[in-house]
Chains A and B, each alone.
Chain A
């Protein structure tokens, strides 16, 4: 099967105000399969967002290639197709809402790409249903909670029928309730609709939900693997300025004091299993 995202030797270089060369991404190669849930973690400035912005051609490689569903993002004729294949959701829900009524906001994308009128309504209804916002279709977005706004933003992307959604810290500005809503929505899109998810986050508990985690450092991929593989390397993760989920941290502490706890104990259930046999 052909990967939905395939990046080969990708570098992204820009020049700062003193004309120094900055390599935001430095020779990255990776691929993501259709239907995968991939989390990307790394400190601020490690290149996470820059990488994610290549996935729907908001940025194009300075060196190397980025193939989205086989389409080269360096070729201008592919841009529209790429952006319909991969949708983006950003951190701040308030910056992503354009219309004064929820359903009009969701319809904005399909209208913009010329979807026939008759098809728009069913798409909007389906998208709002998936994110559980049907009852708010006629509401004004600015009166919604952060989590609700963010779900409207996701619906707006879904109405374009993408194969993949990239979410750049979608819960950073939300309260715990809003966070849970978004995490549940994203999980559902991935599991029920088989939509590929690329999820950038600083919250390790959220990264745990992914099939694969990519860890970035200074424009390079430092580590990748299943959550179990990544989060069992507690020391290495901490050296990168990140943290591990609490169960992995506790497991590491117990291991350090000489107890036998299996290496890839990272969730509360796994820790309970290890301790309460």
Chain B
């Protein structure tokens, strides 16, 4: 059970003066059950790669397999494979379109050809997963919700598809800290319950450090670093800096303290690690 990119390349606006290669010979396997963060600055190829995972873009060269099915082939099998990959775009609330929250979340399951009873139970489960009470919200207009709630509805719409691979493109952009934490609590609960793959595209190194087990760093259309999150932030500092990629705040703060002579080990990733290290260094525990 995996998404596999085999030597995938993609060029935008081919054969025009604006031609730009966005992906270069990327080979990569993502197993179901992994929680991955993808980082890299704008234009590094993150979004282009994501759009290959569910066939929104098809590669100029190379192949994309979902559970060993070439998703760019013709036929029912390829379509079924593409449907296993759910994608929540940036600012998903901009894609809400239906008159009621129920209708919006039901769109995907219905499209999949489920019966009305199945659709209803999927919608119920999806709404409860994102923390919206079915009886209160099902018949409301999604356009009267707050930004954070609208985003939860949009995520529910993808969750209702019950994807094996869930791609989230900056799910916390523009949200306040509390709404951001709520969204991640829901995503993580979903991940725990269903053990699908979560592929998180983010500019927040704190999110990458805190939630993901594996980190992919992209630059110029390639995956340049691929490793365990903690290991990447510890051992690839110079490379990350060169790529213009940030490191988590806790690591930066640890650097400042270390420069001032405090003995802080270099495996600090989160705030709680740092607090512990400071206490150790000062002999406070």
Contact = CB atoms under 8 A, between A and B. Distances in A.
Given A16-B144, A250-B253, A43 B179 contact: yes
Interface stretch (A58-66, A107-115, A173-181): A173-181
Interface in A237-277: 241-243, 245-247, 249-250, 253-254, 257, 259, 268-269, 271-272, 275-276
Contacts of B98: none
A249 B271 CA distance: 8
B239 to A, nearest CB: 15
Interface in A218-247: 241-243, 245-247
B144 to A, nearest CB: 7
Most chain B C-beta atoms within 10 Å of own C-beta, residue among A169, A250, A272:
A250
B144 A202 contact: no
Contacts of B203: 174-176
A205 interface: yes
B244 A250 contact: no
A268 B279 CA distance: 16
Interface string B85-124: 0000010000000000000000000000000000000000
Contact of B176 (A146, A242, A247, A259): A242
Contact of B271 (A173, A202, A246, A257): A246
A238 to B, nearest CB: 9
Contacts of A268: 252-253, 256-257
B181 to A, nearest CB: 9
A259 B284 CA distance: 8
B75 interface: no
Interface residues of A, number: 39
B246 interface: yes
Interface residues of B, number: 39
A205 B249 contact: yes
A172 B144 CA distance: 22
Interface in A166-188: 169, 172-178
B279 A247 contact: no
Given A91-B174, A246-B250, A250-B271, A257 B279 contact: yes
B132 interface: no
Interface in A35-66: 42-45
Contacts of A9: none
Contacts of A81: none
Given A44-B147, A45-B146, A250-B278, A272 B175 contact: no
Interface string B144-177: 1011100000000000000000000000011111
Given A45-B146, A254-B278, A275 B257 contact: yes
A17 interface: yes
A145 interface: yes
Contacts of B148: 44
Given A175-B203, A202-B175, A275 B278 contact: yes
A254 B279 CA distance: 8
B262 interface: yes
B256 A178 contact: no
Interface of B: 18, 41-43, 90, 141, 144, 146-148, 173-179, 203, 205, 244-246, 249-250, 252-253, 256-257, 259-262, 271, 274-275, 278-279, 282, 284
Interface of A: 16-17, 42-45, 91, 143, 145-146, 169, 172-178, 202, 204-205, 241-243, 245-247, 249-250, 253-254, 257, 259, 268-269, 271-272, 275-276
